[in-house]
A = this chain, B = another copy of it.
Amino acid sequence: MYIFDFQKRVRYSEIDQMGYLYHGRYVDYYEIGRAEMLRALGLTYREMEEIHKVMLPVASLEMRYIRPARYDEMLTIRTTLRQFPTDKHMVFYVEVFNEAKKLVNGGRVRLVFVDMNTMRPMSPPTFFTNLLVQFFPEHASEPALGEHQP
């Protein structure tokens, strides 16, 4: 499991008439959480697209609004990868906490690995899964047979 926290302040341009973070803007927060999780792994989404020619469009999302987040609050976006990606899809679980550590919003986003050369779904690329193995030790590659020989 890989859990990553990133902080973002609620900006004036993001709030609604109630002085609360507009419900549609949480999607942007989720995206920021994922982008920063990747960066912490040593990979940027921009490199993923520009160098590796892999994109990650969103296939679906779900969110629940638990309590409002107010203007100027510093929110914590917690992004969790519960499973090692083996499929063409990958799910990020997200929780957003306010300054009092209370849950504001929770949800999940399902992304698809897409090969930008063919524009078709693809299996998770090894340059990416290699970065995740550290968090999912059970997925570390089996050593080649010969290496066990004394």
Contact flag A60-B57 (CB < 8 Å), given A12-B31, A24-B24, A35-B11: no
Chain B residues whose CB sits within 8 angstroms of the CB of A15 once the complex forms: 16-17
Q: Is the CB of B24 within 8 A of A71?
A: no
Report how far A34 CA is from B58 CA in the complex, Å: 23
Main secondary structure of the interface of A (DSSP, over half): mixed
In the complex, A61 has a CB within 8 A of chain B: yes
In the complex, A62 has a CB within 8 A of chain B: yes
| 18 examples of A-B residue contacts, CB within 8 angstroms | A11-B28, A11-B31, A11-B32, A13-B16, A13-B31, A17-B19, A18-B55, A23-B57, A23-B58, A23-B61, A24-B31, A27-B27, A46-B71, A46-B72, A57-B68, A60-B64, A60-B65, A61-B62
